[in-house]
Chains A and B, each alone.
Chain A
Amino acid sequence: MTNKSDKYIISIMVDNEPGVLARVVGLFSGRGYNIESLSVSEVDSDKFLSRVTIVTSGTKIIVDQIKAQLNKLIPVHNLIDITQQESFIAKEYILIKIKKNQKNQKKTFDIANKFNASILSDQNNELILEMVGTSLNISKFIKLLRTFGIIELTRSGLVSMPIDSSFIKK
């Protein structure tokens, strides 16, 4: 058996009821598991279902236990381990506010172009950029912009789905 700690993306379909996020998060903190990223939003307003995407890390044994424990939660309808699918998409969204000055303007635009980022706001000598990408690309993007002075940034956390025929059932 491997004792290697890997990253796992787990996607969970849950009843969108009060306290459901607390149940999921409480399970992780109560049992000492890691959450590296978390995103959650309603995906079916007729059936009141939300989809939670959690990035966690651990050995296979621990992650199997995490999945079994999550499956035990009553509001959890279904979950899939996206990292176990043959191929999948995993992306994040970022908003980033940086200082603007004449000297670095061209460089900023070049970086934005390179990463397919768009400028959403250009006011008061501040730029707000948005970008969608893999976590790795987003980190690279942030690193490049850091030299111009980042005022604030926010990331959505990873959302993900398999590419092949598998999907999460409701």
Chain B
Amino acid sequence: MIKKITGAKLLVECLINEKVDVIFGYPGGAVLPIYDELFKQKKIRHILVRHEQAAVHAAEGYARSTGKIGVVLVTSGPGATNTVTGLTDAMMDSVPIVCISGQVPTHMIGNDAFQEADIVGITRPCTKHNYLVKDVDNLAGAIHSAFFIASNGRPGPVLVDIPKDIQTFRTNYEGKTNTKKISYYSPQVDPNKDSIKFFVEMIGQSEKPIFYVGGGVINSGPKASRLLFELIKKTGFPCTQTLMGLGAFPTSDQQALGMLGMHGTYESNLAMHQCDLMICIGARFDDRITGKVSGFSPKSKKIHIDIDPSSFNKSVNVDLTIQGDIKKVLKEILNLLNKKKMHFQKQKYSNWWKKINKWRKKDCLAYKNSKKLIKPQYALERLNELTKNLCPYITTEVGQHQMWAAQYLTFNKPNHWMTSGGLGTMGYGLPAAMGTQIAHPKSLVIDVAGEASILMNIQEMSTLKQYRLPVKIFILNNHYMGMVRQWQELLHGNRLSESYMESLPDFVKLAESFGAVGLRATQPNDLDLMIKEMIEIKGPVIFDVCVDETENCFPMIPSGATHDQMLLGPNDEFEDGISEDGMVLV
């Protein structure tokens, strides 16, 4: 006879069976029975955040840096609604998250009870799936289904809402394998064999090919990155990476052209524009990538490999789609190439590489350095130089600093770069760094931040203090919401409406008040020593890097323009002017 246990105890056992070792959460009335069970056990560590949004971002950092599922536990009402931004972020960037929320008891649902919110209704469009568990006998099925759904197919967040009475009712739990899932879900992971044949034919015919790889490669696991490396090396083709895909292929490799898109490199964007074959792997033709869709890579055949068929032909029509788990697709492709003994003659692509190398010579990331002011690009170059041997985990907030980090840092391994791509969530970086540091306690974790973004989740300094997390916060402080200002300069007649950051805190003192070390650099000469100092400090650090306030982020494809209409620097003018269509784009 299996002894009946409470829903709360069952939940904790389910989590243990799902091999959860860390939960990010915040207690409250509707989850007290669960917190009581957490108190009684030693297998799961609970990290107490200071705001539920940060719990989700921390779980995202944990998930993205490990490939595991991030788990969040929050109370009903405001606890649950505070997770909405985090869940949407995880949805947009395909991060596997399971969020457990408490709910008022079943008999009070719908009565506008204290701390009641219809969180299943609210999060329906921002989760991959969600459940409201109204019967304790379905609880185990819901939890195990949630973990399965979050991590299989295209990953995403799943929320399970558990009313308080369900947490106290008793039921049987027969373990993970004996529990019947309550949802039918079986994504297609094996590619169609014919499509692999077509793929091989198409790459055999092309003369100006390019790999365009995204975060899907990283989501498919480190094996996918290894296979991608093998394929790119075997073919000798150039490779450009999306913001989410940085690290899927080593960015310091000769064949890597850097990031593409709105703030991508000249060589990447022109190669995308002029290629005859585009091989998109685990990316989704996002509007930051394509620019004006009608002028996007007009002469190329396009192949799209993705696990999510709804990404096919969504914004750009492609010639061949291959649905499947990327590591499986790549394995099949390599097998067929080997079987056919296909070789890729360097000569065939020499003209293409000549062109690319000519574009490279433009050195589009060059900037005018200064002896007096710290240029943000310089600060990141020094950070990269002095930390790259330590293989740091980098997170960012959102804005200019994020784009500069993507441009100037080296990403040679997957799972080392955590940034909010799809949703563009300011305040993401610090909690994400926290979650990353929990997963990798001995590693160097750096949050590259702006002074505006960092204030959006600054309360998490307290969490860093509590768990002695040695996160390094590298603030490129220019006293502006830099990206907002850049757009105001470009599109709104330089009227800097509300983008100046008044009344900033003294970040050094702020660090000290949370038991961290505060550093401040104002001169380029200070940088090297202070970066070294930052790395050597054992605890958390806020490094306030006071950079040139006027610097803007280039190259840039203005909104509504195409890849061959890039602005390379502040003196470049967009020939056609920004169109009215472009003005309304974000």
- Is A162 located at the chain interface by the 8 A CB criterion? no
Q: B476 to nearest A CB, angstroms?
A: 36
CA distance A113 to B309 in the complex (A): 49
CB pair A1 B310 closer than 8 Å: no
Q: A159 to nearest B CB, angstroms?
A: 23
- Is A71 located at the chain interface by the 8 A CB criterion? yes
Neighbour of B313 across the interface among A18, A23, A64, CB < 8 A: A64
- Is B465 located at the chain interface by the 8 A CB criterion? no
- Is A136 located at the chain interface by the 8 A CB criterion? no
Q: Which of A72-80, A89-97, A100-108 forms part of the interface with chain B?
A: A72-80
CA distance A27 to B128 in the complex (A): 12
- Is A19 located at the chain interface by the 8 A CB criterion? yes
Neighbour of B310 across the interface among A15, A69, A75, CB < 8 A: A69
Q: B158 to nearest A CB, angstroms?
A: 9
- Is B278 located at the chain interface by the 8 A CB criterion? no
CB pair A71 B132 closer than 8 Å: no
B317: A residues at CB distance < 8 A: 1, 61
A19: B residues at CB distance < 8 A: 120-121, 124, 132
CB pair B309 A74 closer than 8 Å: no
A1: B residues at CB distance < 8 A: 317
CA distance A14 to B147 in the complex (A): 21
Q: Which of A12-68 contact B (CB under 8 A)?
A: 15, 18-19, 22-23, 26-27, 30, 61, 64-65, 68
Neighbour of B129 across the interface among A61, A64, A74, A77, CB < 8 A: A74
B124: A residues at CB distance < 8 A: 19, 22-23, 26
Neighbour of A71 across the interface among B121, B134, B310, CB < 8 A: B310
Chain A interface mostly: helix
CA distance A121 to B312 in the complex (A): 53
B121: A residues at CB distance < 8 A: 19, 22
Neighbour of B132 across the interface among A18, A68, A72, CB < 8 A: A18
Residue in chain B with minimal CB distance to A60: B313
Neighbour of A68 across the interface among B128, B129, B312, CB < 8 A: B312
- Hey, what's the 0/1 contact readout for A125-153 against B, CB within 8 Å counting as 1? 00000000000000000000000000000
Q: Which of B118-169 contact A (CB under 8 A)?
A: 120-121, 124-125, 128-129, 132, 134, 149
Q: B103 to nearest A CB, angstroms?
A: 13
- Is B574 located at the chain interface by the 8 A CB criterion? no
- Chain A, interface size category, equals 10 to 19
A26: B residues at CB distance < 8 A: 124-125
A22-B124, A23-B124, A30-B125 given as contacts; is B310 within 8 A of A68 (CB)? yes
Neighbour of A65 across the interface among B134, B183, B310, CB < 8 A: B310
CA distance A71 to B310 in the complex (A): 8
Q: B143 to nearest A CB, angstroms?
A: 15
A15: B residues at CB distance < 8 A: 183-184
Neighbour of B183 across the interface among A22, A23, A74, CB < 8 A: A74
- Is B308 located at the chain interface by the 8 A CB criterion? yes
A1-B317, A22-B124 given as contacts; is B310 within 8 A of A74 (CB)? no
- Hey, what's the 0/1 contact readout for B300-313 against A, CB within 8 Å counting as 1? 00000000111011
CB pair A72 B125 closer than 8 Å: no
Residue in chain B with minimal CB distance to A67: B310
Q: A45 to nearest B CB, angstroms?
A: 17
B134: A residues at CB distance < 8 A: 18
CB pair A74 B128 closer than 8 Å: yes
**Max chain B Cβ within 10 angstroms of own Cβ: one of A22, A61, A74, A75:** A74
- Is B185 located at the chain interface by the 8 A CB criterion? yes
Q: A15 to nearest B CB, angstroms?
A: 7
CA distance A75 to B313 in the complex (A): 24
Residue in chain A with minimal CB distance to B183: A74
**Max chain A Cβ within 10 angstroms of own Cβ: one of B121, B125, B128, B308:** B125
CA distance A64 to B125 in the complex (A): 20
Q: B142 to nearest A CB, angstroms?
A: 11
CA distance A61 to B128 in the complex (A): 23
CA distance A61 to B317 in the complex (A): 9
A61: B residues at CB distance < 8 A: 313, 317
CA distance A69 to B314 in the complex (A): 10
B312: A residues at CB distance < 8 A: 68
CB pair B313 A72 closer than 8 Å: no
CA distance A68 to B185 in the complex (A): 15
Residue in chain B with minimal CB distance to A18: B132
A22: B residues at CB distance < 8 A: 121, 124
- Hey, what's the 0/1 contact readout for B481-509 against A, CB within 8 Å counting as 1? 00000000000000000000000000000
- Hey, what's the 0/1 contact readout for B172-210 against A, CB within 8 Å counting as 1? 000000000001110000000000000000000000000
CB pair B183 A75 closer than 8 Å: yes
Neighbour of A72 across the interface among B120, B183, B184, B310, CB < 8 A: B310
Q: B190 to nearest A CB, angstroms?
A: 17
A23: B residues at CB distance < 8 A: 124
Q: A19-B121, A65-B313, A74-B183 are in contact. List 11 more A-B contacts (CB 8 A).
A: A19-B120, A19-B124, A22-B124, A26-B124, A61-B317, A65-B310, A65-B314, A68-B310, A69-B310, A71-B310, A74-B185
The list of the 9 closest CB pairs from A to B, nearest first, reads A68-B310, A74-B129, A74-B183, A30-B125, A68-B309, A69-B310, A74-B185, A72-B310, A26-B124
Contact residues of A with B, CB < 8 Å? 1, 15, 18-19, 22-23, 26-27, 30, 61, 64-65, 68-69, 71-72, 74-75, 77
A-B pairs with beta carbons under 8 Å apart, 8 shown? A15-B183, A19-B121, A23-B124, A27-B125, A61-B317, A74-B128, A74-B149, A74-B183
